[in-house]
């Protein structure tokens, strides 16, 4: 069930678009900010609220890789695997994260601290390789920097 605060925020997004269902993605983001992910129940509630079928909204949610349809860790690591990052050292970063966190892509650490996901582009190709943790972008990365970066997130 959507909270009053979520409905208020969704109503604001609806006011910015020509049709109620055009606010679907923004409504999903609002729910995700509140809960960390979008459950089936939340998806149904949002669909009903914005006037979409559950299937329609689910197709939107699953198209966007930053709408999480299952629980994720407290911090989400997006490792850019674009060609620029690949050429500039992506594999070393990926392997170090796999070994340090003891997880692979799509998995969450046993303590629930991190979820690791690939990302096709973070839009900073001139400063590759790059990764993002939550809303923090790290560019020109080296393997040697990773442990210090990870230690900032509890």
Residues making up the binding site for [2Fe-2S] cluster? 80, 85, 121, 125
Distance set, CA 7 to CA 14, 21, 23 (Å): 10, 14, 12
* Binding site as annotated, residues: 80, 85, 121, 125
Question: Sign of dihedral through CA atoms 36, 38, 41, 43?
Answer: positive
Q: Are 107 and 116 in contact (CB under 8 A)?
A: yes
Q: Report the chain's terminal Cα–Cα distance, integer Å.
A: 30
- The structure tokens listed for 2 are 């959507």
3-state helix, strand, coil in the chain (%, to 5): 50, 10, 35
The residues facing 80 across adjacent strands are 119
CA-based max dimension of the chain? 49
């Amino acid at each position: 069930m959507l909270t009053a605060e979520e409905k208020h925020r969704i109503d604001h997004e609806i006011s910015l678009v020509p049709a109620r269902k055009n606010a679907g993605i923004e409504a999903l983001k609002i729910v995700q900010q509140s809960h960390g992910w979008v459950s089936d129940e939340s998806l149904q509630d949002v669909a009903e609220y914005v006037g979409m079928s559950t299937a329609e909204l689910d197709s939107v949610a699953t198209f966007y890789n930053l709408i999480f349809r299952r629980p994720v860790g407290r911090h989400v690591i997006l490792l850019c695997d674009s060609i620029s990052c690949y050429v500039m050292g992506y594999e070393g970063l990926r392997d170090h994260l796999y070994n340090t966190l003891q997880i692979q892509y799509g998995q969450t650490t046993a303590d629930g601290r991190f979820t690791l996901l690939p990302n096709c582009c973070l839009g900073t190709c001139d400063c590759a390789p790059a990764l993002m943790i939550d809303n923090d972008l790290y560019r020109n990365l080296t393997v040697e920097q990773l442990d210090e970066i990870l230690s900032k997130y509890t």
